[in-house]
Structures are given as C-alpha cells and as structure tokens.
C-alpha cells in the first residue's frame, strides 16, 4: 500500500477527531420465514417481516440480516480466496488491474493516487459479459461488453466467486421483493428492471494503517445502485450516519450476517420514502480488514424515475428520469479522468419545488 504522503499528513494533522457513537446499532432482521418451508406460508410472519424491512428502510436506510439462506461455508470460502489473492505480490495482483477500458479487476490506492481511501480491491461482475454504454456522453448509443479478468492464483477464485455471486443474487432478489411489498407494491414489481443487470461484487482489503486518524478505508458516500449486500469480518469499521440525529454509528459485526443498505435508485423509485444514507469505513492501526459488498444494480437501459404507483397530485415526482447505464458509466469514467462536471449524483435530477 505504500507510505502515507507527508503532505497529506501536514494538510490533515489538525483535522478534528471523528466522533463515532457505538450505541444504538442498526436493526437486525431475521429472514428465517423466507428460508423455512414451514414458516414461508405463514402470512402473519411474512407480513411482520415486510413491516420490519419497511421500518428499517425508512428510519435507517440500513439493516442487518441473519438466517438469510447463504451457506456459512460459502461465506468462509469467499473470504479465504480474498485473503489468498490480496496476499500475492503487488506485481502479481496488477496483472489483472483495471483500466479505463475495463473497470473490472484489481486496483489499489497507490495506483489511483488516492491515499485518503486506504484499501485495495478486486471487482467482478455477476453477469459475464455485462453490457454498459461505451461512454458517458448522452448522444453516444454504442455499448460495451465488460468481461471479468481472473488471476491465475488462487486457482479456485473464479469458481468460488461465481458460486458466491449466484447465492447473493438470490438473496438480493428476496430482499428486493420484501422492499417492494413494504411500499405497497407487488412483490416482483422491481424484477423487470434487473433483466441483464449490471451488478458486481467487490473484494475489499484494508491493510493496517499506521496513521488511522489521517485516512479512511472509504470516505463518506452514498451508494448509487439499488441495494448493497455487505459481508464484513470481525474487525468491523463500517460507520452509518444515523438519520435521527446525524451521528455516526459503528455497525458491530455479527458472525455470518449481511449488512443491507438502500441505494440511490431505491430512493428515486420510492420518491424519497426510503433514503440512501451516508456511510464510511474506518481503518484499523493494528489489524487488516476484509469485506465483500454485492452491488445490486439494474440493466443499463433502465430509465430510473419515481414509480407511477407512488406519485400523485399530493405527492408529485421529485426526480427527473435518468438512464442508469449512462449514470453508471459517468461514475466509472470519473475514476480515471476528470470530467467537465462534478461526479454525477441523484440530486442533479432533483425537481425543485
């Protein structure tokens, strides 16, 4: 990962200490009714689960799920291949590094010249190939096939990653249906948007940081997609900005659980009933940290806008529609070169009163 830039230290040495409240964690929701045949037909239990999901999305934008149906052995295997891959030499890992042409593969903060985010990652898509617009320019209608690039070692990484992707895809659809029901919509209302989806998985490695007060694992941000399903190890470090009082809350790791957060797309579809919430990752001075987020995102051709069923004369649309593929391509392109405008956000499509 390299050394911390002295200029960075000088610039930030007087930054106020970060205040993180470890109390009052995000809701924990038991998904047993979805994965137990004896419970799945109990409409009262399912209704209660839908209500829990809706309240968590509205009040927090985040929640943890247990008894989610993803086998614990598979969770252990994906973490193991991540540890093996990130344990390789930098030269070996960079044989599959991403670039402007293909944003899939490996990158680290030294490569991206961004020491503020203290991490290295490996990205792969769920669908291979994945179709995206070839450029962020509005009038360019060409598309590009993104293909995964796999390292030679560990030899089992491709098999484990694809098996894991299949399991997380199923869980994401289950969660999406619960969220749809919580909005008073049919369970599969959102599914049509995910035919040929652009979802991807990221293996994250946060090495120990010698100056944890001067860097972040990931800076404060909101997720642009529909849902994020995150597995984190026992080191922890994820902070969520609590909606009730804007305090940062540390999410305590629960073994074999997943942390779920609503992304910007759900915020737009729900016309702000559910809000995408800021979060960040803190580094650890003594221990390395691993996490695996699954970013569940619609197909490139989907036009994102408030759903017709959720708007009326008393609750008019709060966003203009935008093309997801162009939006996503703009975000990806901005990782490699400065665009003419600031990094695109959903507030750029907000309709002023």
* pLDDT tens for each residue of 132-141: 887 677 776 7
Task: Report domain extents, the chain.
Answer: 32-349
- Helix H, strand E, coil C: the string for the chain is CCCCCHHHHHHHCCCCCCCEECCCCCCEEECHHHHCCCCCCCHHHHHHHHHHHHHHHHHCCEEEEECCCCCHHHHHHHHHHHHHHHCCCHHHHHHHECCCCCCCEEEEHHHHCCCCECCEEEEEECCCCEEEECCCCCCCCCEEEECCCCCCCCCCHHHHHHHHHHHHHHHHHHHHHHHHHHCCCCCCCCHHHHCCECCEEEEEEECCCCCHHHCECEEEECCCCCEEEEEECCCCCEEEECCCCCCEEECCCCCCCEEEEECHHHHHHCCCCCCCCCEEECCCCCCCEEEEEEEECCECCCEECCCHHHCCCCCCCCECCEEHHHHHHHHHHCCCCCCCCCCCCHHHHECCC
pLDDT band at residue 215 under the 50/70/90 scheme? low
* pLDDT tens for each residue of 98-119: 987 788 999 986 544 444 578 9
> What is the value of pTM for the model shown?
0.90
Percentage of the residues of the chain whose pLDDT score is greater than 70: 85
Residue 8 has pLDDT above 60, yes or no: no
Mean pLDDT, the chain, integer: 87
Instruction: Note whether 240 and 25 are within 8 A (CB).
Output: no
The CATH topology of domain 32-349 is Jelly Rolls (2.60.120)
């Amino acid at each position: 990962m390299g050394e911390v830039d002295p200029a960075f230290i000088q610039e930030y040495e007087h930054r106020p200490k970060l205040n993180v409240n470890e109390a009052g964690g995000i809701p924990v929701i038991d998904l047993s009714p979805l994965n137990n045949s004896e419970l799945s037909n109990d409409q009262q239990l399912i209704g209660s689960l839908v209500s829990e999901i809706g309240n968590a999305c509205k009040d927090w934008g985040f929640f943890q799920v247990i008894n989610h149906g993803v086998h614990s052995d598979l969770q252990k295997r994906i973490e193991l291949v991540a540890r093996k891959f990130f344990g390789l030499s930098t030269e070996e890992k960079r044989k599959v590094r991403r670039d402007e042409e293909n944003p899939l593969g490996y990158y680290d903060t030294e490569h991206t010249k961004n020491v503020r985010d203290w991490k290295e990652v490996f990205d792969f898509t769920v669908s291979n190939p994945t179709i995206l617009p070839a450029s962020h320019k509005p009038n360019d209608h060409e598309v590009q096939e993104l293909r995964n690039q796999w390292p030679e070692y560990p030899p089992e990484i491709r098999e484990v990653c694809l098996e894991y992707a299949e399991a997380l895809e199923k869980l994401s659809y289950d969660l999406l249906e619960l969220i749809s029901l919580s909005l008073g919509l049919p369970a599969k209302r959102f599914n049509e948007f995910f035919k040929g989806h652009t979802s991807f998985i990221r293996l994250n490695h946060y090495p120990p940081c010698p100056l944890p007060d001067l860097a972040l694992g990931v800076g404060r941000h909101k997720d642009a997609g529909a849902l994020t399903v995150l597995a984190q190890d026992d080191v922890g470090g994820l902070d969520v900005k609590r909606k009730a009082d804007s305090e940062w809350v540390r999410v305590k790791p629960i073994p074999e659980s997943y942390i779920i957060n609503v992304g910007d797309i759900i915020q737009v579809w729900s016309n702000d009933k559910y809000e995408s919430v800021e979060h960040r990752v803190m580094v650890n001075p003594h221990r390395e940290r691993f996490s695996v987020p699954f970013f569940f995102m619609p197909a490139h051709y989907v036009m994102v806008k408030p759903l017709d069923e959720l708007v009326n004369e008393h609750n008019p649309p709060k966003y203009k529609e935008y093309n997801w593929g162009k939006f996503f391509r703009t975000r990806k392109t901005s990782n490699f070169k400065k665009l003419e405008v600031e990094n695109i956000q959903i507030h750029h499509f907000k309709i002023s009163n």
